[in-house]
């Protein structure tokens, strides 16, 4: 753990960033519902975040090249702080869509710069440890931010101010660092031909996960609000989903290390589709059943992307991991943007529970497509199989996250291979 101690300030900065992001995302959905924003507007707020995040992943490296890491990070933190405060001062649906896009842009840029510093200070022996600790801290901080809404509520100024403080404090670790600025940022590149040729299942999984998780992450709080849950109830509902999703990453991942990963994807996506269908049919109005179904959804839906990345890496040529994973990120980003935009139409037709038609449809399509692909191509066996790594996708991954992943190293140590 000694490498972790050396970079504790960067990890603290990342945790503060994720805490503010978790709080802001949940508060905007619930507060928007309280302000009687239309379902379409609430969905487009989530779309705005995804569009801004993808744009930041592509454009921020150019900014860093011009003015450097520390200045760029300061700009991202300052604009992120201004954005969340404007959410409080300018309560308007169109305004929040625009501001959410800017917030996603800033969040992607800030995360990439922190991850770039992490990539600079780790070596091959510590890369796996740093990646695991970084992912765990981000998940815990994002969950803590969502839980904070149970204390702050959504009606006053408090959650916005606390989020702003968190964003601006995330600036301090990088502003005070004495370490030299790291290498240029990694840019996201999309090579659809390479990705689809390497693993059609991985490409389809990335889009399906984006569609389902984008819809769920943006509009599930709105569904909770429609069920007359208070701020604390919605906070607990979303957090139990995240916690179960995090807890299931390792068991499903280790299972996929021992068998055809596509079978694991079929099981997880199939169960997620059934859970979505049950929510549509039963439409539970609060109570234990709602929490159980949400927890089960998180348990089976959130690990799918990590298993899909591992499946793609099994078939990838040496040195292609970053290109393939970067392509999956951009495909997932497209799904994250489209899902929240189309789900409101179903919510208007079939009541708020209609959002689960999207999650059920895309998880079901993924399960069926994966079963068909299993008939077309045998699974990779033996030493070529790369070990699964848990990947948290709740707030989006950047190209720098891919570079930090130990599987991105073409000289992968022997102990990371099954």
Within 8 A by CB and 6+ apart from 8, the residues are none
Q: Count of CB atoms within 10 A of residue 47's CB? A: 23
Q: ∠16-19-20 over CA atoms, to 5°?
A: 90
pLDDT one-digit tens code per residue, 3-59: 555 567 778 888 888 899 889 989 999 999 999 999 999 999 999 998 998 888 888
DSSP string covering 203-270 = HHHHHHHHHHHHHHHHHHHHHHHHTT--HHHHHHHHHHHHHHHHHTHHHHHHHHHHS-HHHHHHHHHH
pTM: 0.85
Contact 195, 203 (CB under 8 A): yes
Q: How far apart are CA 130 and CA 119, in angstroms?
A: 9
pLDDT one-digit tens code per residue, 246-260: 888 888 888 888 888
Domain ranges, residue 93 = 2-416
Decide which of 227 and 122 is more confident. 227
**pLDDT at 58 (0 to 100):** 83
In the chain, the number of structural domains is 1
Q: How far apart are CA 329 and CA 323, in angstroms?
A: 10
pLDDT one-digit tens code per residue, 304-357: 988 888 888 877 776 666 677 778 888 888 899 999 999 999 999 888 899 999
Q: Count of CB atoms within 10 A of residue 293's CB? A: 18
Please give the structure tokens belonging to residue 252: 């499903």
**Closest to 117 in 3D by CA, of 34, 12, 25, 39:** 12
CA 108 centroid distance within chain: 11
Contact 39, 175 (CB under 8 A): no
Q: How far apart are CA 255 and CA 264, in angstroms?
A: 8
Please give the structure tokens belonging to residue 23: 């709080």
**pLDDT at 341 (0 to 100):** 92
Q: Count of CB atoms within 10 A of residue 225's CB? A: 22
Which residues are registered as beta bridge partners of 417? 386
Q: How far apart are CA 128 and CA 354, in angstroms?
A: 40
Q: Count of CB atoms within 10 A of residue 409's CB? A: 18
Q: What is the CATH number of the domain that holds 157?
A: 1.20.1250.20
Decide which of 214 and 412 is more confident. 214
Within 8 A by CB and 6+ apart from 247, the residues are 299
């Amino acid at each position: 753990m000694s490498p972790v101690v050396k970079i504790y300030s960067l990890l603290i900065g990342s945790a503060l960033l994720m805490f503010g992001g978790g709080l802001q995302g949940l508060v905007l959905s619930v507060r928007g519902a309280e302000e009687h924003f239309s379902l379409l507007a609430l969905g487009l707020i989530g779309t705005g975040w995804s569009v801004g995040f993808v744009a930041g992943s592509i454009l921020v490296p150019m900014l860093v090249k011009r003015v450097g890491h520390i200045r760029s990070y300061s700009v991202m933190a300052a604009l992120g702080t201004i954005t969340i405060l404007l959410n409080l001062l300018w309560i308007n649906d169109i305004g929040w869509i625009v501001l959410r896009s800017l917030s996603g842009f800033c969040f992607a840029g800030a995360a990439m710069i922190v991850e770039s510093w992490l990539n600079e200070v780790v070596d091959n022996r510590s890369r796996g440890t740093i990646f695991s600790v970084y992912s765990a801290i981000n998940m815990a901080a994002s969950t803590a931010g969502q839980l904070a809404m149970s204390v702050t509520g959504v009606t006053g100024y408090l959650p916005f101010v606390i989020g702003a403080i968190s964003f601006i404090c995330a600036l301090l670790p990088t502003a005070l660092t004495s370490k030299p600025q790291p290498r240029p940022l990694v840019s996201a590149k999309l090579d659809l031909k390479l990705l689809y040729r390497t693993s059609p299942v991985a490409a389809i999984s990335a889009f399906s996960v984006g569609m389902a998780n984008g819809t769920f992450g943006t509009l599930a709080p709105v569904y909770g609000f429609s069920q007359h849950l208070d701020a604390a109830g919605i906070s607990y509902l979303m957090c139990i989903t995240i916690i179960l999703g995090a807890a299931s990453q390792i068991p499903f991942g280790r299972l996929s290390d021992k068998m055809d990963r596509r079978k694991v994807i079929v099981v997880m996506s199939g169960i997620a589709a059934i859970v979505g269908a049950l929510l549509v049919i039963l439409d539970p109005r609060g109570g234990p059943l709602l929490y159980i179904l949400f927890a089960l959804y998180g348990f089976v839906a959130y690990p799918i992307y990590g298993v899909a990345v591992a499946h793609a890496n099994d078939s990838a040529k040496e040195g292609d991991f970053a290109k393939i994973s970067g392509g999956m990120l951009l495909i997932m980003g497209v799904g994250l943007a489209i899902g929240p935009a189309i789900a409101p139409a179903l919510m208007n037709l079939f009541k708020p529970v209609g959002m689960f038609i999207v999650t059920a449809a895309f998880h079901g399509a993924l399960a069926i497509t994966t079963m068909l692909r299993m008939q077309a191509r045998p699974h990779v066996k033996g030493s070529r199989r790369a070990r699964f790594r848990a990947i948290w996708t709740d707030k989006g991954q950047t190209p720098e996250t891919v570079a930090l992943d130990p599987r991105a190293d073409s000289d992968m140590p022997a102990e990371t291979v099954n």
